[in-house]
Chain A
């Protein structure tokens, strides 16, 4: 039998029972719509989160003190046998091949007083290379001056929001500012950077790392960040970083995390999340599949005579199997297309009505969903179609 004839026969059989075919197809359509809607939202969130993380550039390696297998540095303040990361360590890393910038990082939360106002805010102890590592932009004044590690002067650079809160529209450059018990002088203000996963990146003050160590009475750095040239494999730079620090510490008492590793892990987790919500929608798809099994079983029973006739006319079992499988697949495929339209439509509507909701429907999902629908049609059709193909011709012809 010619392929297109089989499809035409299937369509004739399906349109002969409009309402019942429509209801069967609706089951699949709702399932596919649910899958595509949920995965669209999942994928939207996936991409949104990744974009949040990559806004600082992806070619950054983080080094934290302590070697941990389970992840996460030991809470600071608790004495450990681990040698702290020092400013010297950070300086040593500047010589690593392909490294473009190295900044130490210490952070804390402190009260800041200036211009007669008081505000609790996040303080970062860093160095001049911070702007380069995390692609910060200075709006006015300058960032912390380079080459002043231990002896760094008490300069401070303000995030856009902190500047507004403390100084309003006034020019803060040169103003005096107190953080905890230390005095600083404002040398620059940064461009607004926006939010990162709900954290305001502009409500911050950047001071030299040595001053932050003093402020928080710490021995070592919280982290060191190394940025490297684009296109260089992260692993190579990570190895070089490890080699330098191992030589200095005598053992590997630190943890190196590449942004690449982190993003890959994050992406994997978010991917699994998307797949999980997709599977959740898949349950309704299963129900749709059962609907097809039911309707095809009824069709085979109703058309027993016709099956006998087809056999008498010389249709081999294979052809009869194909005819009924074809019907199930056409039902599922049409239902799938309807579901895709419905799902993508609702997803678009949702992102239009709730712009904050990230929605993204990749083409691969659309194609995959339609393939899933077809596979469900095949699976649902197999049993009834097999029954049809195996019917005895004489008995089928004699059936009422």
Chain B
């Protein structure tokens, strides 16, 4: 059984009386532990696909089986729980909470999940060490470099030990060297068994993935 299975997914946005088909009859199966790069021109539906996979968005039609369970029919509350426990997000613009320190940003998902304070600080300390942020624990995001911010975001995405990491252009705001650093971290996580799905414009970075899905106008045009 694949970890992720999309069957003829449609996603249509209506703007006034015009319709935008962001995704058209899309099928996709992903095994646990895969490393996939989703590529394609701007507006081809990459982010829409990732949002669907992350249960941030619902398709207009089609089914999404996550670990064998149809998750499109879950209530908002149940979907939130799946996001909390199974999915880690990494964004192009980091999305750190500006008034919280690096350590607090990393702890945020555990706070939302109601994990007690002691357990939280233990796991945060470990993550800070793993991502080379130990000396930055009490810094706020505006006191960190871009690469450091994205490392905080990755630490936050992995702190709940998710089954998959969804990254939408995680290196889009970083220079090449820092970007490769960050990709290295994500690939390291993948090596430890976490499914990694990365949206990227960058062909060089995309080619590092074992499987590449190319999108065009809401369709999957290549998958190898």
> How far is it, in angstroms, between the C-alpha of A12 and the C-alpha of B83 when the chains are bound?
25
> How far is it, in angstroms, between the C-alpha of A23 and the C-alpha of B36 when the chains are bound?
51
Q: Are A314 and B113 in contact (CB under 8 A)?
A: yes
**A314 with B112: in contact, given A393-B56, A394-B56, A394-B57 (CB under 8 Å)?**
yes
Contact with A along B119-153 (1 / 0, CB 8 A): 00000000000000000000000000000000000
B84 is an interface residue with CB less than 8 A from chain A? yes
A317 is an interface residue with CB less than 8 A from chain B? yes
Q: Are A305 and B76 in contact (CB under 8 A)?
A: no
Q: Which residues of the other chain, A, contact B111 by a CB distance below 8 angstroms?
A: 1-2, 5, 9
* Shortest beta-carbon distance from B150 to chain A in Å: 14
Q: Are A316 and B77 in contact (CB under 8 A)?
A: yes
Q: Are B99 and A16 in contact (CB under 8 A)?
A: yes
**A314 with B83: in contact, given A393-B56, A397-B91 (CB under 8 Å)?**
yes
Q: Are A12 and B100 in contact (CB under 8 A)?
A: yes
B16 is an interface residue with CB less than 8 A from chain A? no
Closest B residue to A15 using CB positions: B99
Q: Which of A9, A16, A308, A318 has the most CB of B within 10 A?
A: A9
A368 is an interface residue with CB less than 8 A from chain B? no
Q: Are A314 and B80 in contact (CB under 8 A)?
A: yes
**A397 with B95: in contact, given A2-B114, A12-B100 (CB under 8 Å)?**
yes
B81 is an interface residue with CB less than 8 A from chain A? yes
> How far is it, in angstroms, between the C-alpha of A13 and the C-alpha of B81 when the chains are bound?
25
Q: How many interface residues does chain B have, given as a range? A: 20 to 34
A379 is an interface residue with CB less than 8 A from chain B? no
**A312 with B76: in contact, given A1-B114, A12-B100, A305-B95 (CB under 8 Å)?**
no
> How far is it, in angstroms, between the C-alpha of A275 and the C-alpha of B174 when the chains are bound?
63
Q: Which residues of the other chain, B, contact A311 by a CB distance below 8 angstroms?
A: 56, 80, 83
* Shortest beta-carbon distance from B210 to chain A in Å: 26
Q: Are A313 and B112 in contact (CB under 8 A)?
A: yes
Q: Which residues of the other chain, B, contact A308 by a CB distance below 8 angstroms?
A: 95
Taking CB atoms and an 8 Å cut-off, the chain B residues in 79-115 that contact chain A are 80-85, 87, 89, 91, 95, 97, 99-100, 108-109, 111-114
Q: Are B51 and A394 in contact (CB under 8 A)?
A: yes
A263 is an interface residue with CB less than 8 A from chain B? no
Taking CB atoms and an 8 Å cut-off, the chain A residues in 8-24 that contact chain B are 9, 12-13, 16
Q: Which residues of the other chain, A, contact B99 by a CB distance below 8 angstroms?
A: 12-13, 16
> How far is it, in angstroms, between the C-alpha of A393 and the C-alpha of B51 when the chains are bound?
9
Q: Which residues of the other chain, B, contact A317 by a CB distance below 8 angstroms?
A: 76-77, 80
A260 is an interface residue with CB less than 8 A from chain B? no
Q: Which residues of the other chain, B, contact A312 by a CB distance below 8 angstroms?
A: 54, 56, 83, 89, 95
Q: Are A314 and B81 in contact (CB under 8 A)?
A: yes
A319 is an interface residue with CB less than 8 A from chain B? yes
A310 is an interface residue with CB less than 8 A from chain B? yes
Q: Are B85 and A314 in contact (CB under 8 A)?
A: yes
Q: Which residues of the other chain, B, contact A346 by a CB distance below 8 angstroms?
A: none
A309 is an interface residue with CB less than 8 A from chain B? yes
- Give 6 A-B contacts (CB < 8 Å), ordered by A residue: A312-B95, A313-B112, A314-B82, A315-B84, A317-B76, A394-B56
Binding site for B on A (CB under 8 A): 1-2, 5, 9, 12-13, 16, 305-306, 308-319, 393-394, 397
